Amino acid sequence: MRTRISTTTRIAATALAAVAVAAGTGAVGAGTAAADGLPGGPYCSGPAKILAESAWSRVAICPVQGPTGWAYEGVAKTTGDPIAIWGATWDYNGFHASNNGYTYHVHRDRLMITAPNGTLISDEPWITYEER
């Protein structure tokens, strides 16, 4: 599956370059990057730092412009509901992102989600984890 996404992205980028040449612009702008992500989402607009999947969630940590330089992108596998949180932070334990009092902790071995009062509401071991 992963190869198919990369191939599709390359085909789309090649088509975009061909359109740009045909239109007389001569090139695609500098900094254009292929989307990166997991089948069914989430996706980063460029290369992902982390792509991980548990039995219940799919997560991508994406580089973004902003104070922390990172965003948490997630999709609930049961409902398909997405979540995007800019301002994710990094420490020696992994990445952390907060939204409405809930905190998503992306560790190398699992995703942990805590409620506003600090209660652990989800502890999801990764099925796959890729850090780049």
Q: Are both 52 and 84 inside the same structural domain?
A: yes
The reply to whether 6 and 46 lie within a common domain is no
Domain that holds residue 71: 36-131
Domain count, the chain: 2
Q: Do residues 113 and 98 share a domain?
A: yes
Distance CA 98, CA 35 (A): 24
Query: pLDDT at position 66, please?
Result: 87
Each residue's pLDDT tens digit, 3-20 = 333 333 333 333 333 333
Q: Residues, the chain, total?
A: 132
Q: Are residue 50 and residue 106 in the same domain, yes or no?
A: yes
What integer best gives the mean pLDDT of the chain?
81
* CA 1/CA 41 separation, integer angstroms: 12
Tens digit of each residue's pLDDT (9 = 90 or more) over 49-71: 999 999 999 999 999 998 899 99
Q: End-to-end CA distance of the chain, in Å?
A: 18
Verify that 66 and 23 share a domain, yes or no.
no
* The pLDDT value given to residue 33: 54
Q: What's the burial of 105, exposed, middle or buried (CB within 10 Å: 0-12/13-18/19+)? A: buried
- pLDDT at position 28 over 80: no
**Span of 16-20, 56-60, 103-107, 128-132 with lowest mean pLDDT:** 16-20
Answer yes or no: do 15 and 42 share one domain.
Answer: no
Q: Is the domain of 63 the same as that of 15?
A: no
Question: Which pLDDT score, from 0 to 100, does residue 59 have?
Answer: 98
